[in-house]
Chains A and B, each alone.
Chain A
Amino acid sequence: DQQVKQNSPSLSVQEGRISILNCDYTNSMFDYFLWYKKYPAEGPTFLISISSIKDKNEDGRFTVFLNKSAKHLSLHIVPSQPGDSAVYFCAASLIQGAQKLVFGQGTRLTINP
């Protein structure tokens, strides 16, 4: 049973426009959510996170929104830049000592010039 789902395998966005990546989860006990970006041949790079007690967190061009009732989170990137082209993973965990992070399948974002 996949607890964290990213239903869009790929997304293509024009440079300068907004990119919106979506993620759904099934386990209501998750209390910490993260987005990672991954380039080929590199490890995942942490982008932004949100605690379950919040509904929005912003860091520069990146904003994460959490809708607990819908068990849904999204990552907004605005404006999108060519360097944002990568695979984006949504992840969720329970904060109980060390974390057992569960990843979604990933969405490949392509920013077109």
Chain B
Amino acid sequence: DTEVTQTPKHLVMGMTNKKSLKCEQHMGHRAMYWYKQKAKKPPELMFVYSYEKLSINESVPSRFSPECPNSSLLNLHLHALQPEDSALYLCASSHIGQGNSPLHFGNGTRLTVT
């Protein structure tokens, strides 16, 4: 069982839809992350939140909009996506500034854009 919970597990959406991915952790971590993983590729960093503030945006298109309402929750709002955005979206969390503090990942949301 993962300590980072992501919902939904699967999502199919059209290119004009608006949807949101949700992530929750209760490990007291103050850094939260969104990664994108395409088939047979490694996870690629999208966004990092530190203490509920956006600290890293890896030049992600504005059709992806992250939100961190509190220290336990992370959302990714999706609007006007393209078929090439279909991928596994992974949320992760970690402590900040501590040595030997690995990222803990959720099981991801499998997104299909039609």
Contact = CB atoms under 8 A, between A and B. Distances in A.
State yes or no: do A and B come from one complex.
Answer: yes
A98 B31 contact: yes
Interface in A24-79: 32, 34, 36, 41-46, 49, 51
Interface string B85-102: 000001010101111111
B105 A95 contact: no
B42 A100 contact: no
Interface of B: 2, 4, 6, 31, 33, 41-45, 48-50, 55-56, 90, 92, 94, 96-108, 110
B100 A99 contact: no
Contacts, number: 69
Interface residues of A, number: 23
Contacts of B92: 43
A44 B33 CA distance: 13
Interface string A92-113: 0001011111111110000000
